[in-house]
Amino acid sequence: MNHYKIAIVGAGPAGYFTAQALQNEANDERTFSIDLIERLPTPWGLVRSGVAPDHPKIKTVAKVFEKVAADPNFRLFANVELGKDLQLADLTDRYDAVVLCTGSSKGKNLGIPGEELPNSISAAEFVPWYNGHPDYEKFEVDLSGKVALVIGAGNVAMDCARMLAVEAHELDETDTAEHAMKKLHESEIKKVFITARRGAEFAAFTAPELRDLPKLEHTDVYINQDDIDMAQTRAAAKGEIEKHVASNLEAMRLIAESTKSGNEKSMEFLFQYVPKEIVGSGKVEGVIFDTPNGEKRIDCDLVISAIGYESIPYVGVEFEKGKIKNVDGRVANSNIYTVGWAKRGPSGVIGTNKSDASDVVELLLTDLSTPKNVGDITEVLKSDHLVVDQSYWQRINEAETKAGESAGKPRIKGTSIEALLSLGRP
């Protein structure tokens, strides 16, 4: 019987699905001790700080994560930062394999003039801000203007736009961070544009998310019917329209045809708007676009770019093109592997990480030989380091959930490291 020790860094969906894939591979010949290391005092990654608060069903996957964590051979080491509290070599020396599931948390730059103006922000800041990520507790979002403009045609852009375009009271029973709820209740934003640089046939939105939009009670959603007709014609001219494109266009057509109720708040999609410059004196006042009908300016008070993410590099492994340099999840000449956005870039839904993890674990298993059996993370961490282990996290989780009960919310989140640590203190 071989007993292997595996360290996983990053307790988001990729980390948990990697642990689950390893647990599924345990048998009479091999078992695995899994140590899951996480920088924040809270696990669950994007399920906690990425998924939009008004999409609670997506977050139910956390039940799977907690089941993984209940295995006696699983340990959580949260509040432990790679590069600060320990180095990658501390793990590669001691564990049979190290799986990096550190995601990609930096927003890609547009690379156009004016991007640095105040009130031009990234979804990589706005999303963790409304979700109560401790790094963004003090982030300032100015919602005092009337018009917001979101650049990008993916689901993150749609989440950002929807969070601004619904009435704040519709979010009262969600786990949106308290600081964000206060700002959203005071928000003056009435109109939110979503701009796509290409035609509707290339939009990265997914159909279920689009289909939810006409159901919004207090927000009118506009798409120009001509944009959909032209997209359909262009796509058909290239041959058979792909299934996901057809259902996206169909969902967009339903939005175009939906009855508008004259709501004060609205969302409007603009296609073939290539951002050229963000303009304003002292702060954002508008965005200039190249369009098929020439240059157009849209006046706005806030710009959110939601054009994808890249990994923030760290020492001990090579990064290229915003990801960890790897071949199918293997990092060359090492016992390091990677799963999730750190491996493949910021694509796919949460479930995509499940198959990704299984594929990488399959490779990892073929590389394993005799177990190292030379200690673990506990030898490296300072004796007074406050580790948030599974029971500490459970206390945080219970305290947050209990705080939410009286307000009819799934939870009220601790939004600073100190607050989270004190919520779980025994």
Shortest Cβ distance from residue 153 to ligand NAP (Å)?
A: 3
**Residues in Cβ contact with 208 at an 8 Å cutoff, skipping those fewer than 6 apart:** none
On the 0-12 / 13-18 / 19+ scale of CB atoms within 10 A, 135 is middle
Asked if 56 touches ligand NAP (CB under 6 A), the answer is no
Asked if 212 touches ligand NAP (CB under 6 A), the answer is no
Asked if 197 touches ligand NAP (CB under 6 A), the answer is yes
Asked if 47 touches ligand NAP (CB under 6 A), the answer is no
Of 31, 73, 87, 206, the one binding ligand NAP (CB under 6 A) is 206
Of 62, 64, 204, 387, the one binding ligand NAP (CB under 6 A) is 204
Four-residue CA torsion sign, 131, 64, 345, 209: negative
Q: How far apart are CA 381 and CA 287, in angstroms?
A: 49
Q: How far apart are CA 287 and CA 114, in angstroms?
A: 9
Q: How far apart are CA 48 and CA 59, in angstroms?
A: 8
Of 110, 148, 300, 412, the one binding ligand NAP (CB under 6 A) is 110
Q: Which is nearer to ligand NAP, 265 or 344 (CB)?
A: 344
- Give the gyration radius of the chain's Cα atoms: 23
Of 38, 159, 175, 268, the one binding ligand NAP (CB under 6 A) is 159
Shortest Cβ distance from residue 140 to ligand NAP (Å)?
A: 22
Measure CA 266 to chain center.
Answer: 25
Four-residue CA torsion sign, 123, 312, 206, 133: negative
B/e letters for 165-177, b = 16+ CB within 10 Å, e = fewer, are bbbbeebeebbbb
Stretch that binds ligand NAP, among 61-69, 74-82, 210-218, 347-355 (CB under 6 A): 347-355
Of 61, 143, 151, 361, the one binding ligand NAP (CB under 6 A) is 151
Q: Which of residues 275-314 bind ligand NAP (CB under 6 A)?
A: 275, 306-308
Asked if 223 touches ligand NAP (CB under 6 A), the answer is no
Q: Binding marks (x or -) toward ligand NAP, 120..149, rule CB under 6 A?
A: ------------------------------
Q: Which is nearer to ligand NAP, 207 or 331 (CB)?
A: 207
Q: Which residue has the tokens 């500490």?
A: 392
Please count the other Cβ atoms lying within 10 Å of the Cβ belonging to residue 148. Answer: 28
Shortest Cβ distance from residue 135 to ligand NAP (Å)?
A: 18
Asked if 99 touches ligand NAP (CB under 6 A), the answer is no
Shortest Cβ distance from residue 198 to ligand NAP (Å)?
A: 4
Asked if 156 touches ligand NAP (CB under 6 A), the answer is yes
Asked if 348 touches ligand NAP (CB under 6 A), the answer is yes
Asked if 152 touches ligand NAP (CB under 6 A), the answer is yes
Q: Which residue has the tokens 């159909």?
A: 207
Q: Which is nearer to ligand NAP, 119 or 248 (CB)?
A: 248
Stretch that binds ligand NAP, among 37-45, 68-76, 91-99, 190-198 (CB under 6 A): 190-198
**Residues in Cβ contact with 291 at an 8 Å cutoff, skipping those fewer than 6 apart:** 272, 273, 274
Residue nearest to ligand NAP (CB): 154
B/e letters for 374-413, b = 16+ CB within 10 Å, e = fewer, are eebbeebbeeeeebbebebbeebbebbeebbeeeebbbbb
The footprint of ligand NAP (CB under 6 A) covers 55, 110, 151-157, 159, 196-198, 202, 204, 206, 209, 275, 306-308, 346-349
